Amino acid sequence: MKGIINGFSKLSKQQKIQWVAETFGQNPTEMAEHISSWQHADAAQQKVLDGFTENALTNYPLPYSIAPNVMVNGKVYAVPMVIEESSVVAAASSAAKFWLNKGGFHADILGTVKLGQVHFRWLGQPETMQYLFPEIKAALLASADDITANMRNRGGGITDVELLDFTAEEPGYYQIRASFETCDSMGANFINSVLERFGDTLEFFFDTRTDLSDHERDVEVIMCILSNYTPDCVVRAWVECPVGELEDLARHAGLPGPEAVDRICTAVRIARLDPYRATTHNKGIFNGIDAVILATGNDFRAVEASGHTYACRDGQYRSLSKAWVENGIFRFELELPLALGTVGGLTALHPLAKRSLEILGNPSARELMMIVAAVGLAQNFAAVRSLVTTGIQSGHMKMHLTNILNHLGATDEQAAAAQQYFADKTVSFSAVREYLGQQ
């Protein structure tokens, strides 16, 4: 049947491109050339990229942008962002500029604990397991000594090992939950290596206990893996300012400062009480966060997964940010888990990830957490401010106008004229096409 192939991964890159183009392309020659053309001109650079995944054919480009003027705890950053959505970088930059002369963003780290789990089945008496656990814990820690040595030298390592008993919910199911400090690395490989060692040690521990019955010597390790939910690896970022100094908050919309503040606070409260709105509200936050995570070679799926779980930690999915006025001070705050690294993994391998970290002044993981949270907050502030004043579409479609003009093949002159023409008009694909048709 067309499209089924054995041994695809064993083909050379050229053969893979050829097979895809010949099997699926309407014009195979054109498709093969087009796919190949996105490869890096420098073969050594391309080899690095190809090394990241299996079956790489080419590169998939996305714009690499900068949001300047992001002041966090008094230090100003130009923040690299990788994202395709037209208005995101503009919105982050505008919010950063807005807060620049109002103290910028503030941020602190609430914790940096990362977690991993060994899930196993043991069918003896739970009291026996409780009795054995101190010995098991000592054996686990000792067995991972060689893996943790470097991390311990850097000030990290395993910080706790607990036993959790889930036998009431699933017969014989226990969990070893280990806590880790991974310093400046995201630590996924480190944590997973330790956990797999724990799994082997657990089996060895029970297997070699002559004081246990045959039945009790039988332990079944189901899986060993880190948890991407890191509720104790959390950063908080906020902006604050007397309401009286926010007259410029919605001047563009002709709205007095206090009224705009009230509408923003109401919008954020709505996102705290309604999961439908909360999802979109948090999506706006992750517009900024994911873009910096990608630009710095971090794992945006891990960050998203953890952030969304954190958003429903009290049982209902809610906004990750809060906004309120107290004693005349407006405060807009974002709190979320961010398990990031600034050494190791892709941060060291991806040429532009390395460059991003350099642009940010080679921050520690903690500093990067604060920068990323500040950008998430900037994004959220900009989105909510637009939503409660002008609406999101005018800014969004103004940015999208460039995409439409490019798509319709407008010349530079036509594009410049169109930008002027649509400055006070509603942008839509058909309106732009009609406008160009009349030129």
281 touches ligand MEV (CB under 6 A):
yes
389 touches ligand MEV (CB under 6 A):
no
**Residue position matching structure tokens 């490989």:** 189
Stretch that binds ligand MEV, among 36-44, 109-117, 306-314, 384-392 (CB under 6 A): 384-392
CA distance 427 to 393: 9
Q: Tell me, yes or no, if 396 is annotated catalytic.
A: yes
Stretch that binds ligand MEV, among 111-119, 120-128, 276-284, 318-326 (CB under 6 A): 276-284
Q: Tell me, yes or no, if 299 is annotated catalytic.
A: yes
Cβ 282 to ligand MEV shortest distance, Å? 8
Choice from 201, 287, 306, 356 touching ligand MEV (CB under 6 A): 287
CA distance 218 to 123: 8
Question: Which residues between 390 and 409 bind ligand MEV (CB under 6 A)?
Answer: 392
Of 181, 299, 333, 367, the catalytic one is: 299
Choice from 159, 280, 406, 419 touching ligand MEV (CB under 6 A): 280
Question: Which residues between 66 and 105 bind ligand MEV (CB under 6 A)?
Answer: 85
Stretch that binds ligand MEV, among 20-28, 253-261, 275-283, 299-307 (CB under 6 A): 275-283
Stretch that binds ligand MEV, among 233-241, 313-321, 325-333, 380-388 (CB under 6 A): 380-388
Binding map of ligand MEV across residues 231-270, x = CB under 6 A, - = no contact: ----------------------------------------
**Angle between the 412-421 and 429-437 helix axes, to the nearest 10 degrees?**
120
Cβ 283 to ligand MEV shortest distance, Å? 6
283 touches ligand MEV (CB under 6 A):
yes
Of 30, 85, 170, 232, the catalytic one is: 85
Nearer to ligand MEV, 348 or 392 (CB): 392
CA distance 253 to 260: 9
322 touches ligand MEV (CB under 6 A):
no
The first and second tokens of residue 300, run together, are 């945006």
Give residues in contact with ligand MEV (CB under 6 A): 85, 280-281, 283-284, 287, 383-384, 387, 392
Active centre residues (catalytic): 85, 283, 299, 396
